[in-house]
Structure 1
Amino acid sequence: MDLLQLRYFQAVARYEHISRAAEELRVAQPSLSRTLARLEAELGSPLFDREGRRIRLNQYGAMFLRHVDRALRELDDGRRALRDARDTGLGRVGVASETLLTITHLLGSFRAAHPRADARLFQSTAAEMSRQLRVGEVDFCVASQPLTGANLASIELAREEVLLAVPPGHRLDGRERVTIPELADEPFVSTRQGHWQRALLDRLFAAEGLTPLVSCEGDEPGASQDMISAGLGIGLIPAISRRAGTETRVPVAWVHVDAPDCHRVLTLVWNRDAYLSEAALKFREFTTSRPFMTHRLPAPHQERAHDPADTP
Structure 2
Amino acid sequence: MDLLQLRYFQVVARHEHISRAAEELRVAQPSLSRTIARLEAELGTPLFDREGRRIRLNQYGAIFLRHAERALSELDDGRRALRGARDTGLGRVSVASETLLTITHALGSFRAAYPRADVRLYQSNAEEMARQLRAGEVDFCVASQPLTGSNLESIQLAREEVLLAVPRGHWLDGRESVTIPEIADEPFVTTRPGHWQRALLDRLFAAEGLRPLLSCEGDEPASSQDMISAGLGIGLIPAMSRQTGTDAIVPVAWVHLDAPGCHRLLTLVWNRDTYLAEAALRFREFITSRPFMTHRLPDRHP
1:122 corresponds to:
122
Q: What's 2:54 paired with?
A: 54
Change (3 A) 1:271 1:298: farther
Q: What is the CA distance between 1:295 and its match in structure 2?
A: 2.7
Q: Mapping of 1:82-93 within 5 angstroms?
A: 82-93=82-93
Relative to structure 2, which stretch is displaced further, 168-177 or 194-203? 168-177
Q: Which residue in 1 is equivalent to 2:281?
A: 281
User: Retained in 2: the 8 A contact 1:163–1:237?
Assistant: yes
Q: Residues of 2 paired with 1:178 and 1:39: CA distance?
A: 59
Distance 1:246 1:116 in 2: 31
Instruction: Output the amino acid matched with 1:290.
Output: R
Kindly provide the CA deviation profile for residues 244-266 of structure 1, in whole angstroms up to 9, marking residues without a partner as x: 22222111111000011100011
Give, in whole Å, the separation in 2 of the partners of 1:244 and 1:237.
12
Structure 1: gaps (5+ residues) = 300-312
SS at match of 2:211: coil
The aligned counterpart of 1:306 is none
Structure 1 residues 120-162: Cα deviation after superposition (integer angstroms, max 9, x where no partner): 0001010000000001000000000000111111110010000
Check the 8 A contact 1:158/1:296 in 2, yes or no: no
Matched, 1:170 2:170: yes
Which runs of structure 1 show a deviation greater than 2 angstroms over 4 or more consecutive aligned residues?
Answer: 295-299
**Structure 2 equivalent of residue 152 of structure 1:** 152
Correspondences of 1:1-312 after superposition (within 5 Å): 1-296=1-296
Counterpart contact for 2:239–2:296, Cα < 8 Å? no
Q: Structure 1 residues 298, 281: CA separation in 2 closer, same or farther (over 3 Å shift)?
A: farther
Q: Contact conserved, 2:160 with 2:298, CA < 8 A, in 1?
A: no
TM-score by length of 1: 0.93
Instruction: Give, in whole Å, the separation in 2 of the partners of 1:288 and 1:296.
Output: 17
Aligned pair count reads: 299
Say which SS state the counterpart of residue 267 (structure 2) adopts: strand
Using the TM superposition, give the Cα deviation of residue 115 of structure 1 relative to its aligned residue in structure 2, in angstroms: 1.4
Q: 2-side partners of 1:165 and 1:298: how far apart?
A: 17
3-state SS in 2 of match to 1:224: helix
Distance 2:223 2:215 in 1: 14
Closer/same/farther in 2, CA of residues 298 and 86 from structure 1, 3 Å limit: farther
- What is the CA RMSD across the aligned residues, in angstroms? 1.3
Identity %: 85
2:163 and 2:256 in contact (8 A); partners too: yes
- Kept in 2, the 8 Å contact 1:159–1:298? The answer is no
Q: What do residues 169-228 of structure 1 show as CA deviations (whole Å, max 9, x unaligned)?
A: 111111111001111111000000000000000000111111111110100111100000
Between the aligned partners of 2:298 and 2:75, the Cα distance in structure 1 is 41
Aligned amino acid, residue 229 of structure 1: S
Secondary structure, counterpart of 1:103 in structure 2: helix
Q: Which moved more, 1:133-142 or 1:235-244?
A: 235-244
> Could you say what secondary structure the match of 1:175 adopts?
coil
- When normalised by structure 2's length, the TM-score is 0.96
Distance across 2 between alignment mates of 1:246 and 1:141:
24
Q: Which amino acid aligns with 1:94?
A: S
Q: What's the secondary structure of 2:293's corresponding residue?
A: coil
> Structure 2 counterpart of 1:219, which letter?
D
